[in-house]
Chain A
Amino acid sequence: MVDETTGDKEDKTGITRRRFTLGVIIASIAGALGSLLSLLKVLAPEKKGGGYVSTIKPGDRFIYAKGANTGDYIKVSSLNIGDAVLAFPEGKTSNHANIVQLIKLDESAYKAPTHIKYTDQGLVAYSAICTHLGCTVSWVENEKSPDTSYTECFCHNSIFDPTRGAKVLGGPAPIPLAQIGVKVRDDGTLVFTSDFTGPIGPQV
């Protein structure tokens, strides 16, 4: 039989030369692309653990995360009411998930849902990683009335209320910053006393 449009001849198997050629081309392209698919796996490495995983253990001591005293123990005496600093647990500064914001306000300022048992002498600690897109949060101090100071992420202006369990007051952050226990030792340095009370880092 002869195909009228192409003039191709069919042999006994009923396959035209054109169809055979087309099949060979498609099969070779599919094979080549298929064999390359494995490269995608190589280019996108396995997750190491997925997002932020804190390695803070109760008993770790607070040290300054930035500024002139970076690496020194934070002492309760060096913080005034209305102050806040960024802190790391001692020896675990390479994991950014461990960064916390340590805030000192008047003891009576804290209300639920703040975990009062995790505060000590007006000190409270929250994860310093914004739950929106992972920037480090900053402290906006109101010197006239320290209790109305708040935590703000300067990336997209999410605002958190430190006296109410870092509740989201405004901006795009979906959930509050997680709290973590803080306690003053006899020598005035500070230790962590718990795990984070909730998820930390961007909620994506």
Chain B
Amino acid sequence: MIFKWFDERLELGKFKDKFLSKTFPAHPTFLLGEIALFSFITLVITGIFLGFIYEPSSKLVSLFGAMVPAAYASVVRIDLLPMGMIIRRIHHWSAMIMIAAILVHLMRVYFTSSYRKPREINWLVGLSLWSIAMGAAFTGYLLPYSNFSVTATSIAYYMSKSVPWIGGWISSLLFAGDFPSSGIVPRFFFMHVMLIPTALIGLISLHMLILVKQKHTEPLSNKNRKEAEGGRRLIGIPIWPEQTVISMSFYFFLLFVVVLIATYIPLNPIEIYGPPSPGTPVMRPDWYFLVVYGFLKLIPGDLSFTVLGGKITPETIGGVIFPSFTILVFALIPFLDRSREPQNYIENPLHRPFMTSFGIGGGIFLCMLVIAGYIDVLHITPEKMTVYTIIASLAAWSISYTLLRFYNRKRMGGGHVK
């Protein structure tokens, strides 16, 4: 009845045929992107709640008799609301899960070479989504304006300032003048709740539209099955109704898990960090920044030099050059590992010794940098840790490469492997 009323006015039938009957792959690893998307939805919903109460200002106000920044006071107020602290933790946990899900999704695409023609554009869109999601997380760090927030943001301020030639201008633009200025909380608030989410929504839509247009990659086994059946259609389940039911129950299951984590595992306890104070707490960033954090610990402090009047410091290398270089390598992958023909089937990672071992080596390298973030706890000197990192990554790369070559030679019966 209702459908008919709308259909007569909006021609929903056409839409249904075109989009809702799209096939969805029936394989669990294709749910990774969905985890990221669903976390984003949770972030938006909890963010709306937090946004109603949060006050973006660093002006001093009275809270239980102490003078603290208004932003900090308003987050304490959120924590005191019924369910308030849970909502804030769900928000923070969802952000961590979203970035993790994007990373694992990216790894899945990498190892199955699903980035190849014609999907290079979507690889780049996905990469941008990942970077911007981290920008969202970073701007969110500052908002509670606790001692932790201010210290973390101050470190990032000096890192951006260390960009050669234009660092002073960039840091001034991003952080509204010298840190900490009174303009920084409104600026970060605007970026966090308006600019970045808008960019994310735009890019997510683009990501999905391209996906719908290009269809997803399929396991090789589907190829044989299709050839046997003589059909050209993708094998999978339609979005409506089957996949909708699966996705909805999956969303609520994910929400259940996040609420469970948020209920029992504290995160960013601003009441313990306290408002900004002269002292600096012992602190480590959230997991996705640990790579940069660890890298900064490994670089020797006297490694600075001047190129064309621009000063390159260890912070430039660790905080600017290294992350940009990593993103650049990711961005170049589909253009270095090309296929001439459009490739619509996923490849078995075991059959691609070079790319797979490169991915494993790179992954181990990033993991070692995370461990480098803990050298003070582990009592390892930076020099030793640098050596361990290089050895572990090279070993992981060469060993996995050798093993995969060996495996493929056996598989092909001693034939030549590319």
Contact = CB atoms under 8 A, between A and B. Distances in A.
- Do A and B actually bind? yes
Interface in A46-98: 46-51, 65-66, 86, 88, 96
Contacts of B382: 170-172
Contacts of A66: 277-279
A135 B277 CA distance: 11
Interface in B285-305: 293, 296-297, 299-302, 304
Given A99-B278, A138-B280, A47 B301 contact: no
B168 A174 contact: no
B155 interface: yes
Give the bracket for the number of chain B residues in contact with chain A.
35 or more
Given A135-B151, A135-B154, A156-B296, A170 B278 contact: no
A86 B277 CA distance: 11
A44 B169 contact: yes
A134 B155 contact: yes
B375 A174 contact: no
Interface string A98-109: 010000000000
B158 A45 contact: no
A121 interface: no
A33 interface: no
Given A40-B173, A50-B178, A157-B297, A204 B158 contact: yes
Interface string B140-173: 0000000000010011011101100001110011
Chain A contact residues, majority secondary structure: loop
A132 B301 CA distance: 8
B280, B318, B376: which has the most chain A beta carbons within 10 Å?
B280
A50 to B, nearest CB: 7
Interface residues of A, number: 39
B158 A134 contact: yes
Contacts of B161: 202, 204
A133 B279 contact: no
Interface in B334-386: 375-376, 381-382
A168 interface: yes
Contact of A153 (B280, B293, B314, B315): B280
B301 A168 contact: yes
Given A66-B277, A156-B296, A168-B301, A133 B158 contact: yes
A179 interface: no
A86 B279 CA distance: 8
Interface string B164-202: 000111001100111001010000000000000000000
Contacts of B300: 172
Interface string A119-144: 00000000010001111111000000
A151 interface: no
Nearest to B298: A172
A155 interface: yes
Contact of A157 (B167, B173, B311, B375): B375
Contacts of A202: 158, 161, 315
A96 B279 contact: no
Given A133-B154, A168-B301, A155 B280 contact: yes
A182 B288 CA distance: 43
Nearest to A137: B280
A154 B278 contact: no
B313 interface: yes
Contacts of A50: 168, 178
A163 interface: no
B299 A136 contact: no
B10 interface: no
A47 B278 contact: no
Contacts of A178: none
A153 B376 CA distance: 11
7 contacts: A44-B172, A45-B183, A86-B279, A99-B278, A135-B155, A155-B151, A174-B302
Given A44-B177, A48-B178, A133-B158, 10 more contacts: A45-B176, A65-B279, A66-B277, A99-B278, A135-B155, A155-B280, A156-B297, A174-B304, A174-B313, A204-B161
Minimum-distance CB pairs A-B, first 5:
A44-B172, A45-B177, A44-B173, A136-B280, A135-B280
